Amino acid sequence: METNHSATILGKRYQILQTLGSGGMALVFRARDILLERSVAVKVLRQNYSQNVDFRERFRQEALAAANLSHPNIVTVHDFGYDDGKLFIVMEYIPGTDLKTILKKKGAMTLDEAIPLIVQACAGIGYAHRAGLIHCDVKPHNMLVTPDSRLKVTDFGIARALSTIQPEEQHEVVWGSPQYFAPEIASGAAPSQASDVYSLGVILYEMLTGQLPFTSTDPVELARCHRDVMPIPPRQLNPAIPPALEQIMLKVLRKEPGARYRTADQLGRVLVSFSQIADAYSSNIPPLGPVLPQRTEPQPVKTKPAVRADAIPPAAAPTLLPESAEEPVPSMDWKTITLALIATLAVGGLIPFWLYVGFSLLGR
């Protein structure tokens, strides 16, 4: 909930108005850009981070990389700076609620609700992957949902350029949140695109079942579960999940990075293709009996995994389905048919001749 905040101006430009949220690393405020006269969101890092010179330089490099991302499903970074001992980053202000808050209030979502949102998340993160960045902290807390169901991924502040990460590189620190990080990150390995894909799979699991695949108050135990324990098949928790979708979810949650979908783009295409195929199949099933009058009482929850066209931004909606697998009917080969008819007539014309010869011989 927003709370009033004493007016403070950062960088001689951004007037702090209200507190939007707080985390272990930073506070987030709604502010007014005095120069451009617009609302913005300002994330101010806590003092113990701001005073670290090495961290400030790393944060500057990551903020520069994030500022180059321009996509309808990514929160735009406008500016960053350091003022009065405070390191801050300025982003577009998005009116809405983070996905984690929505899940806490709502519980499990229907397929019609969940798939369009996760496809948008895949579109934004997939765009970052193509730009050479990984998010490293994919979780529903970092996904903002607007009142018209548009999703934007935020907090690329810890993202790193893929070119600076060597496959054999090991880290003493653990990236991301224990509930959502990938098995390789739990083992201390460098994050990769497949690590973001795993985190997206955890979020989809939570959206459709109403619970995380692994829960524990001990981060060490959570890390062990991600590395060694297979999650409960989601259909056991929500039978409305189609078997084909369950297979997609379990593939995303595999322990080996190479066994998952390679990028968020690929996962998004698979989910859109699944939804379109399932929708087309459902629409082609004829009714089993006469159509009954519409009832005024609430109807059962739909389980058809349809993705509305307006729920996917144009940048995330390429042609995903292959052309029809049916082969076209071949055209007639008239030349061959003509030759066959001539041969038939020729052979047929010899029959009277041989009959004549036969009767002549018998007449002798």
Strand bridging mode 151-153 / 143-145: antiparallel
Q: Which phi and psi angles does 49 have, rounded to 5°? A: -80, -45
Q: Which of 79, 98, 137, 265 is catalytic?
A: 137
Contact 49, 37 (CB under 8 A): no
Coil, helix or strand at residue 168:
coil
Q: Tell me the sheet residues that pair with 38.
A: 33
Q: Tell me the sheet residues that pair with 3.
A: 19
How far is residue 203's CA from residue 271's CA, in Å, rounded to a whole number? 14
Active-site residue, 196 included: no
Q: Which phi and psi angles does 180 have, rounded to 5°? A: -125, -5
Query: Which of 177, 109, 102 is CA-nearest to residue 145?
Result: 102
Query: Which of 199, 194, 197 is CA-nearest to residue 213?
Result: 199
One-letter amino acid at 50 equals S
Two structure tokens written together for 275: 């939804």
How far is residue 251's CA from residue 248's CA, in Å, rounded to a whole number? 5
Contact 44, 26 (CB under 8 A): yes
CB atoms within 10 A of CB 113: 18
In the chain, count H helices and then E strands: 11, 11
Report, as residue numbers or ranges, the catalytic residues.
137
